[in-house]
Amino acid sequence: MKTNVLTMVVLVVAVVVFLWYALAFPPTPMRIAGLAILIPAFTLLLVARIQLGAAFSVQARASELVTRGIYSRIRNPIYVFGGLMIAGVILWTERPVFLLIFVVLVPMQILRVRREEQVLEAKFGTAYLEYKQKTWF
């Protein structure tokens, strides 16, 4: 549990420092768009992380099948909102060419999701398959 709290604290501090820094720059349409994506994505990532609770792990393991809250609609909201946060930061930097990061990031996340799905299906069987049919990504 201490690791989960530490992860959250580090994430919150990093975003607060980024926003402090970001707001010192003159607003441009691209920076505003970046922040408009980053802030809600960060908020939803935090909510998803809190809802995941003790079931969170860096390595794929199946301790609990979380199907409430955001997880009732999206199976992997941390990946979805983490990706959106990265997109927001990239837009804020006004270097859209960095969006090419997603050429590497998306396949890596898909592979990770597949590994996690195998672990969850092995542990929870039919319950996981039913949950998977009702949710996106």
pTM metric for this prediction: 0.85
CA 27 to CA 74: how far, in whole Å?
32
What are φ and ψ of residue 89, in 5° steps? -65, -45
For residues 16-51, b (16+ Cβ closer than 10 Å) or e, as one string?
A: eebeeebeeeeeeeebeebbebbeebbebbbebbeb
30: containing domain: 2-134
pLDDT for 85 equals: 93
CA 87 to CA 70: how far, in whole Å?
20
* DSSP codes, 37-96: HHHHHHHHHHHHHHHHGGG--SS---S----SGGGGTBS-HHHHHHHHHHHHHHHHTT-G
Bridge partners of residue 74, in order along the sequence: 136
CA 90 to CA 20: how far, in whole Å?
16
Tell me which residue of 9, 33, 11, 6 sits closest to 22, measured CA to CA. Answer: 33
Domain count, the chain: 1
Does 4 have pLDDT greater than 90? no
| Burial of 2 (C-beta count, 10 Å sphere; 0-12/13-18/19+) | exposed
Find the helix or strand (DSSP H, E) in which 1 lies. Answer: none
pLDDT, tens digit, 9 for 90 and up, residues 23-40: 889 999 999 999 999 999
Does 111 have pLDDT greater than 80? yes
Q: With cut-offs at 50, 70 and 90, classify the pLDDT of residue 1.
A: low
Lowest mean pLDDT among 6-10, 45-49, 55-59: 55-59
